[in-house]
């Protein structure tokens, strides 16, 4: 089946979706003999619940996952067993701390006020065309670097400087994607010879190492000068109480590099992807934009409904039920991480009746999950924020086995609240203060990657609104 898949790479997610719709939510993918590419592809919510929640211990990331995502080293996204458990507990302790949550909100609001607003004002005044996907990537990269290392890259500015970390991230994600659809011997040979996307991966790896090394050295110098009051994750890891956890070595540069890089890549790419697809969907559904504006005016106090983002707080943002539903709807249709890769450590039988052994590869296609009519109804392909709201106006809980954009079970995304705060803060400011229009004829399609970016970006024009209140 590999030749048929390779032909469909430009539309690979829709290709897989069509197969799953016709195969009762699960099908076997057969690769070339001896290539190790046979996979079970599924979007069956019962299977997802079994793999990610009920029988979680039997479905670690595994050695092959770590090999494919080798750029992340021994960070939290590659770790398994006791190491993962300790990394998870330490990260959860840091990210749920009230000081870090306040730091998150301050950072997001500051970047909106001092970065996003001036940039959009400039674009509107000069009547420029701007790539909104690029803008969001700069917004999330700046905020993520601040939260992770305390360093402000300053890439969200009118000058729109080139940031090598961003290019390296895109190249690494592309290489990781193709490692999923190439026989292992092929991509390993390309890596050895330095060819194609593997050459891009090698260069990206080098950039990540250098950038992280510079951040760690700078932070150590800061701490040596007596300033250890920073609230970022890097400082927290350097000051971690080692008696609580059996971590690799919190003082080791390699450990610190792997941890902060994992958070940098996750924070920059997933949230920016979600925002880009969200605003594209709003451009196609102006009624939804109108409802969000009405909700902002009705539920936020005047001091929080304009561009004065310093006044926004989580309690105010949580009043915006329709906005929350619209963001969830965008995440359902265009999940930032379009698929997951799992392997059982012991033979198992899935609820669908499919048998898997310890060498099996299982792919959960989250992009397809959101489009399954048998899961979401006949209107599965439509953008309908109302599906997340009850008749009483409250948010409807959807089980993570059906809506897994933030993962499910013990590996549920620790950064969910950070991401939702960032998205709501940016969305309120933009929707209330600007008209965003996609350039006519601009082609929108996802790029084959482990993160669901738009291949050609999101080219838009921006007009300032003066009747915001």
DSSP state string for 417-469: HHHHHHHHHHHHHHHHHEEEEEPTT----B-SSSS--BTT--EEEEEE-S---
The reported pLDDT for the residue numbered 309 is: 43
| Dist. CA 84–CA 74, nearest whole Å | 9
**Confidence grade of residue 1 (pLDDT, cut at 50, 70, 90):** confident
Residues 462, 117 contacting (CB under 8 angstroms): no
Structural domain that includes position 223: 2-464
* Mean pLDDT over the full length of the chain: 90
Distances (CA, A) of 466 to 109, 121, 217, 461: 21, 12, 46, 16
| Dist. CA 32–CA 374, nearest whole Å | 31
| Dist. CA 129–CA 132, nearest whole Å | 9
The reported pLDDT for the residue numbered 35 is: 67
| Dist. CA 408–CA 93, nearest whole Å | 19
Higher pLDDT among residues 224 and 398, named by residue: 398
Residues 201, 188 contacting (CB under 8 angstroms): no
401 occurs within a structural domain: yes
| Mean pLDDT, range 262-282, rounded to an integer | 93
Name the pTM for this structure.
Answer: 0.91
**Confidence grade of residue 249 (pLDDT, cut at 50, 70, 90):** low
Distances (CA, A) of 325 to 141, 301, 319, 388: 25, 21, 12, 5
31 occurs within a structural domain: yes
Q: Shortest CA distance to 81 belongs to which of 248, 258, 239, 238?
A: 248
Cross-strand partners of 460: 130, 438
289 occurs within a structural domain: yes
| Dist. CA 288–CA 297, nearest whole Å | 14
Task: Find all residues with CB under 8 Å of 257, minimum gap 6, and list them.
Answer: 73, 208, 209, 212, 213, 216
The reported pLDDT for the residue numbered 467 is: 60
| Mean pLDDT, range 53-63, rounded to an integer | 91
User: What is the phi/psi pair of residue 181, to 5°?
Assistant: -115, 10
Q: To the nearest whole percent, how much of the chain has pLDDT over 70?
A: 93
| Dist. CA 99–CA 88, nearest whole Å | 19
| Mean pLDDT, range 391-399, rounded to an integer | 94
The reported pLDDT for the residue numbered 356 is: 94
- The SS3 call for residue 40 is strand
Res 311 pLDDT > 60 = no
Res 304 pLDDT > 80 = no
The answer on whether 413 is annotated among ligand-binding residues is: yes
- Give the lowest-confidence range in 242-246, 290-294, 440-444: 242-246
| Continuous segment of H or E residues that includes residue 146 | helix 132-149
Res 275 pLDDT > 90 = yes
The reported pLDDT for the residue numbered 308 is: 45
| Mean pLDDT, range 372-379, rounded to an integer | 96
Q: Which residue has the tokens 């905020």?
A: 143
Q: What angle do CA 308, 312, 314 make, to 5 degrees?
A: 170
The reported pLDDT for the residue numbered 10 is: 83
Res 303 pLDDT > 70 = no
Res 55 pLDDT > 80 = yes
Q: Which residue has the tokens 């359902």?
A: 332
Res 468 pLDDT > 60 = no
Rg (C-alpha) for the chain, rounded Å, is 22
| Mean pLDDT, range 193-202, rounded to an integer | 95
Give the orientation angle of helix 416-433 with respect to helix 321-333, to 10 degrees: 110
The reported pLDDT for the residue numbered 250 is: 56
What confidence tens digit (pLDDT) does each residue in 97-156 have? 888 888 888 898 899 999 999 999 999 999 999 999 999 999 999 999 999 999 999 999
Residues 458, 133 contacting (CB under 8 angstroms): yes
Q: To the nearest whole percent, how much of the chain has pLDDT over 90?
A: 64
Q: Shortest CA distance to 468 belongs to which of 435, 446, 423, 440?
A: 435
Residues 338, 367 contacting (CB under 8 angstroms): yes
469 occurs within a structural domain: no
The reported pLDDT for the residue numbered 268 is: 85
| Dist. CA 146–CA 328, nearest whole Å | 26
**CATH code, 230:** 1.10.630.10
Residues 235, 228 contacting (CB under 8 angstroms): yes
Res 310 pLDDT > 50 = no
- Give the lowest-confidence range in 144-148, 181-185, 234-238, 310-314: 310-314
Buried-exposed string 118-140: b where 16+ CB fall within 10 A, e elsewhere: ebbbebbeeeeebbbbbbbbbbb
The reported pLDDT for the residue numbered 385 is: 97
Residue 243, both tokens: 């008696």
- The SS3 call for residue 12 is helix
The reported pLDDT for the residue numbered 242 is: 64
Buried-exposed string 237-246: b where 16+ CB fall within 10 A, e elsewhere: bbebeeeebe
What's the total number of domains in the chain? 1
The reported pLDDT for the residue numbered 52 is: 96
| Mean pLDDT, range 217-245, rounded to an integer | 82
């Amino acid at each position: 089946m590999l030749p048929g898949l390779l032909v469909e790479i430009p539309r690979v997610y829709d290709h897989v979706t069509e197969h799953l719709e016709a195969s009762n939510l699960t099908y076997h993918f057969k690769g070339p003999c001896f290539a190790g590419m046979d996979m079970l592809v599924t979007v069956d919510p019962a299977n997802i619940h079994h793999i990610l929640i009920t029988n979680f211990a039997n479905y670690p990331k595994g050695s092959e996952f770590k090999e494919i995502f080798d750029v992340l080293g021994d960070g939290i996204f590659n770790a398994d067993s006791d190491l993962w458990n300790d990394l998870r507990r330490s990260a959860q302790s840091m990210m749920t701390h009230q000081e870090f949550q306040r730091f998150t909100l301050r950072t997001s609001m500051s970047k909106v006020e001092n970065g996003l607003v001036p940039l959009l004002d400039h674009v509107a005044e000069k009547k420029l065309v701007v790539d909104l996907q690029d803008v969001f990537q700069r917004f999330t990269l700046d905020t993520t670097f601040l939260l992770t290392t305390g360093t402000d890259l300053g890439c969200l500015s009118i000058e729109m400087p080139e940031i090598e970390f961003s290019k390296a991230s895109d190249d690494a994600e592309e290489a990781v994607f193709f490692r999923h659809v190439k026989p292992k011997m092929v991509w390993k040979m390309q890596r050895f010879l330095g060819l194609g996307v593997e050459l891009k991966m090698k260069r990206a790896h080098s950039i990540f190492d250098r950038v992280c090394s510079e951040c760690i050295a700078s932070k150590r110098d800061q701490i040596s000068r007596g300033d250890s009051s920073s609230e970022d994750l890097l400082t927290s890891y350097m000051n971690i109480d080692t008696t609580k956890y059996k971590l690799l070595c919190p003082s080791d540069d390699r450990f610190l590099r792997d941890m902060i890089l994992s958070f940098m890549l996750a924070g920059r790419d997933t949230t920016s992807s979600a925002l880009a697809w969200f605003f594209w969907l709003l451009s196609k559904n102006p009624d939804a934009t109108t409802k969000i504006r009405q909700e902002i005016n009705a539920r936020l106090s005047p001091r929080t409904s304009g561009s004065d983002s310093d006044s926004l707080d989580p309690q105010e943002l949580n009043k915006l039920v329709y906005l929350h539903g619209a963001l969830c709807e965008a995440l359902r249709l265009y999940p930032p991480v379009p698929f997951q890769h799992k392997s059982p450590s012991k033979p198992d039988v899935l609820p669908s009746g499919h048998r898997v052994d310890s060498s099996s590869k299982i792919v959960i296609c989250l992009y397809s999950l959101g489009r399954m009519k048998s899961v979401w109804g006949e209107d599965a392909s439509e953008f309908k924020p109302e599906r997340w709201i009850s008749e009483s106006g409250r948010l409807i809980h959807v089980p993570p086995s059906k809506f897994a954009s933030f993962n499910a079970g013990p590996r549920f995304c620790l950064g969910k609240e950070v991401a939702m705060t960032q998205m709501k803060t940016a969305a309120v400011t933009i929707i209330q203060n600007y008209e965003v229009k996609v350039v006519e004829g601009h082609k929108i399609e996802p790029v084959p990657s482990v993160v669901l970016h738009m291949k050609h970006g999101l080219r838009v024009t921006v007009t300032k609104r003066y009747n915001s209140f």
